[in-house]
Chains A and B, each alone.
Chain A
Amino acid sequence: MARLRRVSAVLLIIWLILPLIPLAIWSFAGVWRYPNLLPQIWSYRPWSFALSDQSGVLSSLALTAGIALAVTLISVVIGVPAGRALGLYTFRGKALVELIILAPIIVPGIAVALGLQTVFIGLGLNNTVTGVVLVHLIPTLPYMVLVMAAVFAAYDPLAEDQARSLGASPAQVFRHVTLPAVLPGIVVGAMFTFLVSWGQYILTLTIGGGRVQTLPLIMFQFVVSGRNDITGAIAMIYILPGVLILILTARHLTGRSAALTGFGR
């Protein structure tokens, strides 16, 4: 078991870290011409440009994080009760509701976005941060609802009745029984949501109309103009949340953990 885990850790590192190495080297390249294996001249200029006000990377970082956090918060607020309803209860039209929730994953995002664009123009939501947050909910909410539905499917709501009967107030039941059972699921779903929002390009571009400059949009401008060095520096910043989340959760994702289950019956 321990050996298997060590092997999988090594594989994970190869999988995730190796593809990033060229970009990391680029971010310190002054001059790097073909066919040299390494830059002829090393430089910190890509980094100093990326971190300067001129590039707009830092303000974009704050904007991207703000949008991702808002999307995550709304997903949790909608996804937890929706997941509870789908996981715990059977009701008329449940299959239809599930289909509607899954539909955004099935339909290509760009098709939806182009259709939504005309609607959003009418509502004055085009080119606004609010519009971008709303459109990010399309690909994220299904994941959140699905994760929470799975968590609640393994959760016995009688545990709440039991706690009430033992004298806990409704607030105490939530704090001491419901929340500990579903929190790992909420955390997993929230991280998913944050990363999916963080990685959106097409939807942000379509609805944000180029006015809402999130990090991938800025980075893509430098990709298109062939500035591999600056792209490399921004990419290093861009992957930070993913790496942080991976480090924080590696233990939970590989170890024996209740991260994806509620109360076992």
Chain B
Amino acid sequence: MTSIQITGLCKIYPNAAHPALSNLSLNIPAGSLTALLGPSGCGKTTALKIIAGLLAPTSGDVAFNGSSVLGQTPDTSGAVMVFQNPLLFPHMTVAENIGFGLSMRHLPKAEIAARVAEMLSLIQLPNLGPRRPSQLSGGQAQRVALARALILRPRVLLLDEPLSNLDATLRSEMRDLIRSLQRSLGITTIFVTHDQEEAVVLADQIALILDGRLLQFGAPEAFFKRPATQTVARFFGANNFIPGKCQGGLFTSALGALLLPPAMPEGPATLMIRPENIQLGAAPTNTLQAILISRTYLGSQTRLNLQVGEVQLEASVNPDAAATLTAGAALPINLPPQTLWLLP
């Protein structure tokens, strides 16, 4: 299995106002599934192409198991990239497409045929070998594109927006397929996505990239519970930020004094309260008196706009618990200390 070390990766395109990628460093454990997450145009595809050996960085290094792969061609580095569009070669059959990389390496025809058959059954399309790409559905084409990469037994698999061209049901099927293949084959995999939910569901760790810069790298849970900055917190759906000051385990702000989880840094800070962590009802600690301004039913949850003194808070609660509330009602809420988090 192959671990990936990316250090100080920069890419500046000629005539571009901003670097596409600036100083990206990541240590990716062997056999893991990593998401490069960010809005389109943030530099994540550039990073993928550099790791794939299709693009030279302006500076920095990419190493597999500690040895640099910069300047190596894709067939020697062992990294294979699968693009957002399936890009099947239209003049070849499905089987020829899947066997493309092996026939470029001049393997014996019989071995190629055997491995293609194995791949076709792995992606659950055992009978489609003789078909033309134009006869495939979008989901089938995407799976063939994946098989075309996996047949090479890559050390590193790079997927660019693997699910973005699929509709909702195909998307979850493809997601499960990627996850199970990645687990069973143990291929260190990096995929690029703009979809926060996709990254959370699929990845072992997420690298959040904005404007070519790495904002945070870690397990999905950390982005919800321990975001590094307000930008990261907002990207992951946090929406209540209250400026104040931390002193002796208490946070003093327009909401009064709130008890914090242990070991929070002292000094001026911003308190993050995630909407789903605001509880209805009173509790021994951190209880506040709120007035309900408005209520929006969203199906699986209900969104409440609350006024606490001068401060507006947005809460997301169980629809049944909020069913009888009316606008203007005064209600107690509490903020469990262990759910609070301080941002710089």
Contact = CB atoms under 8 A, between A and B. Distances in A.
Given A158-B87, A258-B90, A164 B101 contact: no
B100 A166 contact: yes
B100 A165 contact: no
A163 interface: yes
B224 interface: no
A35 interface: no
B48 to A, nearest CB: 10
A166 B85 contact: no
Secondary structure dominating the interface of A: helix
A258 to B, nearest CB: 7
Interface residues of A, number: 21
B148 interface: yes
Contacts of A169: 73, 104
B101 A181 contact: no
Nearest to A184: B91
Interface in A85-125: none
Interface string B78-118: 01111101010111000000001100110000000000000
Given A165-B52, A165-B80, A172 B104 contact: yes
B152 interface: yes
Interface residues of B, number: 26
Contacts of B80: 165-167
B89 A159 contact: yes
Contact of B134 (A158, A159, A176, A264): A264
A158 B134 CA distance: 18
Contacts of B138: none
Interface string A166-190: 1111001000110011000000000
Best-surrounded residue of A169, A176, A258, A264 (most CB of chain B within 10 A): A176
A156 B148 CA distance: 18
B83 A162 contact: yes
B74 A167 contact: yes
B73 to A, nearest CB: 8
B22 to A, nearest CB: 23
A158 B83 contact: yes
A113 B186 CA distance: 69
Given A163-B100, A166-B101, A167-B101, A158 B85 contact: yes
A161 B54 contact: yes
A112 B220 CA distance: 69
A125 B91 CA distance: 45
B87 A165 contact: no
Interface of A: 156, 158-159, 161-169, 172, 176-177, 180-181, 258, 263-265
18 contacts: A156-B85, A156-B87, A158-B85, A161-B54, A164-B54, A165-B158, A166-B74, A166-B101, A166-B104, A166-B149, A167-B104, A167-B105, A167-B152, A169-B73, A169-B104, A172-B104, A180-B89, A181-B91
Q: Which 10 A-B pairs have the closest CB atoms?
A: A167-B75, A166-B101, A165-B81, A180-B91, A168-B104, A162-B87, A165-B74, A167-B101, A159-B87, A161-B54
